[in-house]
Chain A
Amino acid sequence: MKSKLCIYIFVGLGFINSAFAADICAKNGKDLALLKDSFPRFFQSQTEIHFARSETPVAYLSVTVSPDKIAGEAKYKIPIFGIKQEKGYATSLCYNKDNGELKIELDNGKEFKVKLINDNPPDATVTIKGYEMTRKPAEYNKAMAILNSTSSSSSSSSGGSSDNNNNGGAQ
């Protein structure tokens, strides 16, 4: 009887543990500040987090956190046409520490996943749709040089100037 009870308790604890291992979600900057220890380190001391890749497809992604909103922005290099910009607002940002997956749900209903590869400052690296994006200073600066040089010839270049000073590594 006692051993059965032990098994039930053991199994029960397992369920509780797996329930706690589920996604931790933040709807805005206030939530994120409260839950920051449960999120990747690059979220802990910054309100704007940048990632970039210098190989094709060259891209830049940033997440801006304010007390009441989380917004994502992207720049892509498109052959012939230069830089394409995107922006979206998130309704939630969820992180699963076990599988290293960040789930960003946008207010248009779209959801995209960011897989954490390396959370060590200043080399944090993630993948989005299988493409590696990084905060590694050398790679990051290379990507930003490509994107800024392409966008400087266009009339809509904006928002990139502070990125070069960021060096991708401040945590």
Chain B
Amino acid sequence: MMSFVVSTLLSLSFAATTPVQSKEEIKFISKTDNKLLDTFKTDAYIGTIGRIDEKAHDLSLVDLYAFKDNGKISMNENLCKDYLKQVYGPLDKITLKVKYITVYKSHTGNTCEAQADDPDQKSSIPERRIIIGFLNAKPYAIEFNLAKKSTPDVQENIRKFWDSLR
């Protein structure tokens, strides 16, 4: 009985620290749990989600960003660029090449997807893929750091993960 109470309390406290929920089994590692994690990240980065059942290593770690609520709840390309700037810096000045910014309809409404390529041919992360949208009316982004250029299957996997978020 006591162990049930303790485990319930523990799971509740874990849930409280997880900013988003997923239909998949996930674990969240906050940047406050490992202070080195955000060394290269902007302030919008809040932590990394681990997808328990995902076999591909690239797709099993997802960086999570939360943006300040500016009252806007409908995604469009300009708003997407604002959020991309909060993740990557000024898009016309940075080394990464952000491209293919598209707005599509997901389960949460208008959602933005983009790709950031590293021009360094030997880069360990040649491509980053990001999806930005609203979860519970709050703006979030999920970002995947890929060790190889993405295939249509990988891109689909990423969109499916966004669709699993609540």
Q: Which of B111-158 contact A (CB under 8 A)?
A: 118, 120, 123-125, 145, 147
> DSSP majority for the A interface?
strand
The one of B43, B61, B89 in contact with A84, judged by C-beta atoms closer than 8 angstroms, is B61
Q: Does A81 contact B (CB under 8 A)?
A: yes
Number of A-B residue pairs, CB cutoff 8 Å, is: 92
The docked-state distance in angstroms from the alpha carbon of A159 to that of B125 is: 10
Chain B interface mostly: loop
Query: For residue A71, which residues in chain B have a CB less than 8 angstroms away from its CB?
Result: 120
- A160's nearest neighbour on chain B, judged by CB, is B124
Complex Cα spacing A110 to B86, Å: 10
Determine whether the beta carbon of A78 is less than 8 Å from that of B48.
yes
Smallest Cβ-Cβ distance to B148: which chain A residue: A156
Of the stretches A14-22, A30-38, A101-109, the one at the interface is: A101-109
Chain A residues 65 to 97 lying within 8 A of chain B, measured CB to CB, are 69, 71-74, 76, 78, 80-82, 84-89
Q: Which residues of chain A have C-beta atoms less than 8 A from B147's C-beta?
A: 85, 155-156, 158
For chain B, give the interface size range.
Answer: 20 to 34
Chain A neighbourhood of B1, CB < 8 A:
none
Give chain A nearest CB distance to B90 CB in angstroms. 8
B60: Cβ under 8 A from any A Cβ: yes
> Per-position contact with A for B41-74: 1 when CB-CB < 8 Å, else 0?
1110000101000001110110000000000000
Chain A, residues 121-145, CB within 8 Å of chain B (1/0): the string is 0000000111100000000000000
Pick the most buried of A61, A73, A107: most chain B CB atoms within 10 A of its CB: A107
The interface residues of chain B lying within 8 Å CB-to-CB of A107 are 89, 93-95
Could you say which of B11-19, B31-39, B75-83, B99-107 contacts chain A? Answer: B31-39
- Rounded to whole angstroms, the CA-CA distance of A110 and B39 in the bound complex is 8
- The answer to whether B124 and A89 touch across the interface, beta carbons within 8 angstroms, is no
When the two chains form their complex, are residues A108 and B145 in contact, meaning their CB atoms are under 8 A apart? no
Check B35–A129 contact: CB distance below 8 A: yes
Contacts A73-B124, A80-B50, A87-B123 given: A108-B94 contact, CB under 8 Å? Answer: yes
Residues in B whose Cβ lies below 8 Å from that of A106? 40, 89
Interface flags for A141-171 (1: CB within 8 Å of B; 0: not) read 0000000000000111011000000000000
A-B residue pairs in contact (CB < 8 Å), sample of 21: A57-B34, A61-B39, A71-B120, A76-B36, A80-B50, A81-B50, A84-B37, A84-B61, A85-B124, A85-B125, A85-B147, A89-B96, A106-B40, A106-B89, A107-B94, A110-B40, A129-B35, A131-B35, A155-B147, A156-B57, A156-B124
User: Which residues of A come within 8 Å of B, CB atoms?
Assistant: 57, 59, 61, 69, 71-74, 76, 78, 80-82, 84-89, 106-110, 112, 128-131, 154-156, 158-159
What 5 pairs across the A-B complex have the smallest Cβ distances? A108-B89, A156-B147, A154-B57, A88-B40, A89-B95
